[in-house]
C-alpha cells in the first residue's frame, strides 16, 4: 500500500473535540429555543437542520431524525414560503425519503427558491440514489474546482469512491483534509472517517491497518464519533484485539445506536462472554426494530446488514435490502442485496438484482 507523507504530518489542528461537542449541543439547543420564539426567524430552522444532522452523523443521536421531522412539520405550518419546502426537502432527504424530497424541491422551485440551493440538494439526492451519475460528477467536479472547499471536495471524493475510482477518491479526500482552513473538528473527522471507509471497506482489497489509522484520526479529532469507534472496533476485533474493541465501544453505548450493541455483542461472543453478548444482541434487535418502525428507509441498509449477520434473520435482511435497493439503487445497495440473496438462496432475487 502507498505510504503517504501526510501520515507523518499531524494534520490540521482543530478545536478540542470535547469542546466542539459541547458547543454543538449549546448551539443546537439555542437554535431550538429561538425557533420556539418565532419559527420564521431568519436562518434558524436551517441552523437546526445543520445542528441536528451533525448530532446524528457524529454522535449517533438517533432521535435527531424525530426532532427534524417535528421541525419540518412546525416550520411548514408557520412559514408558507419556499424556505419551508427547502427545509422539508433537507429533512426528508436526511431520512432517505428521496421521493418526498424531490417533490418538495420541485414545489420550492415553482415558488422561486434560489436555484443553487435546489441544485445542491438535487445533486445530493441523485448521488445518494446512484442516479444520473455522469451529470452528478460534472456538477460535483465543478463545485469542487470552483471553491476548493472541504464541503465540496468530500462529496466529490465519495462519488469517485462510488464510481470505484479509488485512487482519485483518496487524493480528493486528502486534498480536502489538508486544505481545510477553519478550526472545527467535525469536517476533519468526517474526511478521516471517509478515508477509513475507503481503505477499510470500499477498495477491492481492503487495507485494515490503513483504515484503522484514519479511523483513529477521526476519533482523535472527535472522541465521541460513534461510527468511527464502531468501524475501528470492527478492525481491532478482526485482528484479535477484542479488548481494545470493547474499550472503544463501551463509551459509545450511551448514544443509543444499536450498531454499538451489535458490534459489542460480536466482541463479547469472540471473548466467550455469551450471556452478556445475548443481552447486547437483544438490545441491538430492539433498537433496530424501533428505528425501522419510525424511519425504515433511513436504516434499511444497516439493519439488513445486522439481520444478515448477528441478527440471524436472513429473510428479514433480504426484505430490508430489497427495500433499500428500491429506494436507492446504488452499486453498494445492489451488492448488499445480492450478497444477502446468495446466503438466503434466493435465486430469483439474485437474478433480478444482477439485471438491475
Partner 1 sequence: MSDHVDGPRQIGDAAADLSDLFAFTSPENPAHTVLAACVFPSAGEDAIFSNIIDYSIAVRRVTVASVGNSAKFQPADDESRFSFRFETLKRDAAGNAIQHGVCKLPDGRELSLTVNDEKGSWTPEGDVRVFAGLRSDPFYLAWDAAELKRLPNLLQHTNVLCMVVEFDTRRVLDPTKGSLFGAAAETVPPQQRSLIAPAVPRIDWIGRPEQTNIRLYNPALVGIDDLRDLWNQQTPFAISKELQPLFLQRLKESLADWDMRDGKADWTPEALAASANVFLDDFLLFDVAKPINDDSHLEIEKSTINGLPYQTGGGRTVDANSIDILLTWLVNRDREFLQGGATGATKPGMKVFPYFATPNTELQTVADSVELAASPEEVWTLIGQFGGAWHPLTARVNLTGAGIGQLRTIQTLDGQQIVERLEAMDDAKRFLRYTNIAGLAVSHYTGTLEVKPKGSGCVVDWRAQFLATDKTDRAVKVRVSTLFKTGLESLKSRFGVTK
Helix (H, G, I), strand (E, B) or coil at 5: helix
| Site map (CB under 8 A) of partner 1, residues 65-104, x = contact | ---------x--xx--------------------------
- Which of 181, 275, 293, 345 contacts partner 1 by CB under 8 A? 181
Measured torsion, CA atoms of residues 212, 176, 28, 230, in degrees rounded to the nearest 10 = -10
Nearest-angstrom CA–CA distance, 56 and 94: 10
Q: Quick one: 58 or 306, whose CB is closer to partner 1?
A: 58
Kindly state whether residue 148 participates in binding partner 1, applying the rule CB under 8 A: yes
Kindly state whether residue 168 participates in binding partner 1, applying the rule CB under 8 A: no
Least distance between partner 1 and beta carbon 147 (Å): 9
List, in order, residues 6 or more apart from 18 with CB less than 8 Å away: 223, 224
∠ at Cα 49 (45, 51), nearest 5°? 110
Which range in 124-132, 174-182, 264-272, 324-332 contacts partner 1 by CB under 8 A?
Answer: 174-182
Kindly state whether residue 151 participates in binding partner 1, applying the rule CB under 8 A: yes
Kindly state whether residue 254 participates in binding partner 1, applying the rule CB under 8 A: no
| Residue 74 CB-half CA count within 13 A | 18
- Which of 58, 98, 180, 214 contacts partner 1 by CB under 8 A? 180
Kindly state whether residue 53 participates in binding partner 1, applying the rule CB under 8 A: no
Kindly state whether residue 114 participates in binding partner 1, applying the rule CB under 8 A: no
Q: In this structure, are residues 337 and 324 in contact, taking their beta carbons and an 8 Å threshold?
A: yes
Kindly state whether residue 37 participates in binding partner 1, applying the rule CB under 8 A: yes
Kindly state whether residue 171 participates in binding partner 1, applying the rule CB under 8 A: no
- Which of 163, 178, 202, 296 contacts partner 1 by CB under 8 A? 178
Nearest-angstrom CA–CA distance, 349 and 317: 13
> Count of residues binding partner 1 (CB under 8 A)?
44
**What are the C-alpha distances in Å from 285 to residues 153, 249, 259, 279, 305?**
36, 17, 9, 10, 12
Least distance between partner 1 and beta carbon 294 (Å): 20
Q: Quick one: 33 or 342, whose CB is closer to partner 1?
A: 33
Q: Quick one: 74 or 350, whose CB is closer to partner 1?
A: 74
List, in order, residues 6 or more apart from 267 with CB less than 8 Å away: 233, 237, 242, 245, 246, 249
Least distance between partner 1 and beta carbon 179 (Å): 4
Least distance between partner 1 and beta carbon 129 (Å): 25
Least distance between partner 1 and beta carbon 334 (Å): 34
Least distance between partner 1 and beta carbon 273 (Å): 30
Kindly state whether residue 29 participates in binding partner 1, applying the rule CB under 8 A: yes
Least distance between partner 1 and beta carbon 99 (Å): 21
- Which of 110, 179, 239, 351 contacts partner 1 by CB under 8 A? 179
Which range in 23-31, 128-136, 215-223, 343-351 contacts partner 1 by CB under 8 A?
Answer: 23-31
Kindly state whether residue 12 participates in binding partner 1, applying the rule CB under 8 A: yes
Nearest-angstrom CA–CA distance, 143 and 69: 29
**What are the C-alpha distances in Å from 230 to residues 215, 248, 295?**
9, 8, 21
Kindly state whether residue 137 participates in binding partner 1, applying the rule CB under 8 A: no
Q: Which residues bind partner 1 (CB under 8 A)?
A: 6, 9, 12-16, 18-20, 22-23, 25-34, 36-37, 41-43, 47, 74, 77-78, 148-149, 151, 175, 178-184, 186-187
Amino acid at each position: 500500500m502507498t505510504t503517504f507523507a501526510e501520515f507523518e504530518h499531524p494534520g490540521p489542528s482543530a478545536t478540542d473535540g470535547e469542546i466542539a461537542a459541547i458547543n454543538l449541543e449549546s448551539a443546537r439547543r439555542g437554535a431550538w429555543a429561538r425557533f420556539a420564539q418565532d419559527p420564521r426567524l431568519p436562518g434558524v430552522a436551517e441552523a437546526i437542520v445543520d445542528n441536528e444532522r451533525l448530532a446524528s452523523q457524529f454522535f449517533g443521536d438517533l432521535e435527531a431524525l424525530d426532532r427534524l421531522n417535528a421541525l419540518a412539520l412546525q416550520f411548514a405550518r408557520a412559514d408558507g414560503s419556499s424556505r419551508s419546502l427547502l427545509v422539508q426537502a433537507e429533512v426528508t432527504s436526511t431520512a432517505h425519503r428521496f421521493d418526498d424530497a424531490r417533490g418538495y424541491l420541485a414545489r420550492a422551485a415553482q415558488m422561486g427558491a434560489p436555484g443553487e440551493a435546489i441544485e445542491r440538494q438535487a445533486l445530493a439526492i441523485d448521488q445518494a440514489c446512484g442516479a444520473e451519475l455522469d451529470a452528478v460528477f460534472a456538477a460535483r467536479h465543478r463545485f469542487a474546482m470552483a471553491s476548493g472547499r472541504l464541503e465540496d471536495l468530500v462529496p466529490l471524493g465519495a462519488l469517485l469512491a462510488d464510481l470505484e475510482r479509488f485512487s482519485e477518491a483518496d487524493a480528493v479526500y486528502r486534498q480536502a483534509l489538508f486544505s481545510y482552513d477553519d478550526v472545527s473538528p467535525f469536517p476533519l473527522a468526517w474526511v478521516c472517517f471517509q478515508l477509513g471507509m475507503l481503505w477499510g471497506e470500499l477498495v477491492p482489497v481492503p487495507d485494515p491497518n490503513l483504515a484503522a489509522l484514519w479511523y483513529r484520526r477521526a476519533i482523535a479529532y472527535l472522541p465521541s464519533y460513534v461510527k468511527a469507534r464502531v468501524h475501528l472496533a470492527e478492525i481491532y476485533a478482526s485482528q484479535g484485539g477484542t479488548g481494545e474493541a470493547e474499550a472503544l465501544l463501551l463509551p459509545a453505548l450511551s448514544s443509543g445506536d444499536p450498531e454499538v450493541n451489535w458490534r459489542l455483542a460480536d466482541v463479547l461472543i469472540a471473548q466467550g462472554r455469551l450471556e452478556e453478548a445475548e443481552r447486547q444482541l437483544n438490545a441491538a434487535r430492539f433498537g433496530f426494530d424501533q428505528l425501522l418502525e419510525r424511519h425504515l428507509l433511513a436504516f434499511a441498509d444497516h439493519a439488513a446488514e445486522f439481520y444478515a449477520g448477528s441478527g440471524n434473520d436472513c429473510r428479514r435482511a433480504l426484505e430490508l435490502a430489497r427495500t433499500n435497493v428500491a429506494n436507492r439503487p446504488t452499486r453498494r445497495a445492489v451488492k448488499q442485496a445480492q450478497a444477502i440473496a446468495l446466503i438466503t438462496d434466493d435465486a430469483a432475487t439474485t437474478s433480478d438484482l444482477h439485471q438491475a
